[in-house]
Structure 1
């Protein structure tokens, strides 16, 4: 019975996953909106890591699974103690898994606009940029992305 509950919990939490962001992917709410286009030249590109905020799903899932697994060991008060230890250990492991899964490679791209201004934009590393390349900066007032 506990195994069925654990599998159901995993299935529910898997539905909370969000698609990866990309400089080349637009969400539906970002379409059909005007963007300001500025031209410039790439000055430099620096590798960075982009960390997504932790949702707590990894910690909760790990704690639930660890608690269920731990409670299967022993009997009576021993079962309760191992369940608590399993929940704490599972929560810590789940937190680390979520933290690692929430990181992706990115670029900090510094662009010298034709106006002479410098701008630095950080975005996922899904498109390569090299110093000296001509690029476009697309801005909607909230977000800016660099494209070829």
Structure 2
């Protein structure tokens, strides 16, 4: 195959670190952005008077919600991949406590989910779009551009 096939653990560790960092930044921005705006001098009054207030809050909350949902999906997929690998190991060791999770429909479903990179991609793009739209609306308010 090539050098990449020999370093799959290194590639996964690299992916996992970037994924964790990106998700942390996304959630921090989605929560911290509104808090920062509300604690600045004139921003709270200007934003509160805006007809876009409800839209801004909704965009930030939905963006954070998407990232939390994605974290839950990834967490459950990882759990079932772990349980499947462990039950496969137990089967090989002829462990009487093996629950054969690696043969279950649940394992196969979460295995399929785990292989769908488009889920992460579209959730990340969606959250970026929502945060960008919210930020644009806030900047329009703070910079005094016409509604």
Q: TM-score range by the shorter chain?
A: under 0.3
TM-score for the superposition, normalised by structure 1:
0.26
Query: Radius of gyration: which is bigger?
Result: 1
TM-score for the superposition, normalised by structure 2:
0.27
Larger strand percent = 1
Larger helix percent = 2
